Amino acid sequence: MKEKAIKLKTPLTSEQVSKLKIGDRVLLSGVIYTARDAAHKRIVDAMDKGEKTPMEIAGQVIYYAGPSPTRPGNPIGSVGPTTSYRMDTYAPRLIEKGLKGMIGKGSRGKEVIEAMKKHKAVYFGATGGAAALIARVVKKGQVLAYPELGPEAVNLLEVEDFPLVVINDVTGADLYEEGVKKYQK
């Protein structure tokens, strides 16, 4: 029998993410933000200069995605996950500032996993290739910052029951590594 998905609402707390384990299915609702590498660089540069960031970082979830253009009558275009390791240079700094969740696809680097362990954050996997289906969970979308970056701008998304899987938890466990080990036996 499959375990029921865990329902979470943003912003997230250390207590909430500490209960999550690799392989947990999560349905995430609330406000999340999209940002890819160009936006991450700008956010970290703003932090380095002591400037205000486009959003409060603490408790938030960043989705590594660049939405396609919005069709009339829809809150957003297709919005699939991008490869997460491209944000690994910036993620530890954001996690240190209180970022509680990241959504993307692919593995994370050692420094990111160490930051997640130290500061209690998780990495969620979203299904690659399902961008149009994922867009259905978005109830509202708007460009929040850096509109000149086009699809790489920071967007505020209101989501309802965004289906995710915990890939890395606060213990440093890795679903990808555990999955390989399981089938090597």
Q: Are the CB atoms for 67 and 77 separated by under 8 Å?
A: yes
pLDDT at residue 92 is higher than 80 = yes
Q: Among 73-77, 128-132, 147-151, which stretch is predicted with the lowest mean pLDDT?
A: 128-132
pLDDT at residue 69 is higher than 60 = yes
pLDDT value of position 1: 42
Mean pLDDT value of segment 47-69: 94
Mean pLDDT value of segment 134-159: 93
Average pLDDT, the chain: 92
Beta strands in 86-137 (DSSP E): 101-104, 122-125
**Cβ-based burial of 184 (10 A; exposed 0-12, middle 13-18, buried ≥19):** exposed
Active-site hit among 40, 100, 105, 119:
40
Q: Count of CB atoms within 10 A of residue 40's CB?
A: 22
Over residues 94-142, the pLDDT tens digits come to: 999 999 999 999 999 999 999 999 999 999 999 877 777 788 899 999 9
Residue 185: band (very low, low, confident or very high) from pLDDT cuts 50, 70, 90:
low
Fold of 6-184: fumarase (3.20.130)
Q: Are the CB atoms for 135 and 79 separated by under 8 Å?
A: yes
Q: Is 40 a catalytic residue?
A: yes
